[in-house]
Amino acid sequence: MPARGRTPRPMKVVIAGGGNGGLWAAHRLAGSAEVTVVEAGIDPGDPVPRRFLHEHGFPDCDWDYTDTDSGRHLVRGRVLGGGSTVNAAAGSRGQAGGFADWGEGWQWDDLLPALREIESDEQYGDREYHGDRGPIRITRLSPGPLERAFGEAAAAEGHADCPDHNAPGAFGVGPWPTNRVDGGRWGCLAAVAPLVRPRVNLRAQTLVRRILFDGDSATGVEIEGPGGVERLPADLVLCAGGAYGTPELLWRSGVDAPQIGVGLQDHPWVMLDVEADPDAIAQRPVSGSLLRGWLDDPADEYQVFPFSAWLYDRTASRGTWSVSVALMQPESRGRVTRGPGDRARISLGHLAERRDVDRMLTAIERTDAVLARMEAEGTIKIPPGSWWRGVDLERELRRRVETYNHPVGSCGIGRTVDRRLNVRGTRGLKIVDASVMPSIPNGGPNLVSMAIGLIGGSLALADAGLARTP
């Protein structure tokens, strides 16, 4: 007990990583605890430089991971705001049924209050399943001519009109919900970092080398930054390095928790490139339209969205319209293993399960039917010899499958962490990022990882007796 008249010192919390989960956890904890956020990348500052709002591709702010299965580069933002600073600003939550296997305390109804607190939905903020006061702005952009033609063709193929893809049970074709303001991405760097900076100690361009322990209790971290190597004491350490970075940190720290790296999942996707009028593409290069369909039942969801290939690949023609097809509830799982220098060795494991192959083939065929209608109307041209119309579609699919860059699950709830996000076998150590997702949502993990950070901060306060769990 503290001496009479003496104010007890605040709880010291160190958050390793300033991405979605880390910044939202900091936002919830600041004011109730002494919080230090350690981010390996830069803090671009406020106001956010234009390139972090409007450009795509940041090789100077990337962790340089590779999928060992395919040799393809895996984009991960090494910058304040993490993935939400470098991604395409997708603001889709996924279907409620996609969280059914997450366990007690992590069902859709448990997550919804946090999702509502995060967002301010410009079109549907007055609905009970949306929020209208959060810092993350959600909007739906007006379609360009190609998106309108895409919607008409999809409707002719039997897909319903879907004005709000974040409504319960939403399927069909309609505008993609996106976290953008004035055409620029509005992720955690733009929306949350300004709320956090004045209230925490932010250490940018600083790597957490390892977590420090006294027995099984985390007591702080060892960091390396512009000032050299230091030790920061803490009552609680929150890992927020993401599905690849958090396993690396645990390994560097000598943590032997169950199944670290097991259960990795990502959405497999492929691009069906067609030719279109460059001026029509430029009117809505990204985030204009989203088609959500299902195969055998609603749990077998696939998504189709078109975008300007040039926007992400400057070697592509400005007349190339990439129509992407993604499987949203894959059964296949990959793994993150410990490589040389404790670097993550990543195997995404796409299409390892036969059922995923069959579902992807069906989704591609259904998408081709939509494109054929657009070609018949003269809106696009499907190039001769297009791979998805070849004689060996499965072979081409396996060769071309890529990642949505939505990695989750490498430290899942029920495996590496318990339902309160405590790392098993330790004390004073939680994980508050996408790595704890037991399975991948059937939507982008962008908003869900923010919700995990917010809930993780609340759990930390409740465990310390400073607040009740929401």
List residues forming the annotated binding site for substrate: 404
Q: How far apart are CA 416 and CA 422, in angstroms?
A: 8
Alpha helix (H) residue ranges in 258-407 = 278-283, 309-312, 354-376, 393-400
Q: Is residue 46 packed enough to be buried (19+ CB in 10 Å), middle (13-18) or exposed (0-12)? A: exposed
Closest residue by Cα to residue 440 from 328, 346, 294, 296:
328
Helix, strand or coil, per DSSP, at residue 241:
coil
CB-facing half-sphere around the CA of 114: CA atoms within 13 A? 28
Token pair belonging to 360: 């992807």
Report the binding-site residues. 79, 208, 404
Look-up: residue for tokens 């039942």?
297
For residue 454, the 8-state DSSP code is H
Tokens standing for residue 41: 């990348």
Q: Is residue 36 within 8 Å of 13, Cβ to Cβ? A: yes
CB atoms within 10 A of CB 337: 16
Going by the annotation, the residues of the binding site for FAD are 79, 208
The pair phi, psi for residue 459, each rounded to 5°, is -65, -40
Buried b (16+ CB within 10 A) or exposed e, 52-71: bbeebebeebbbebebebbe
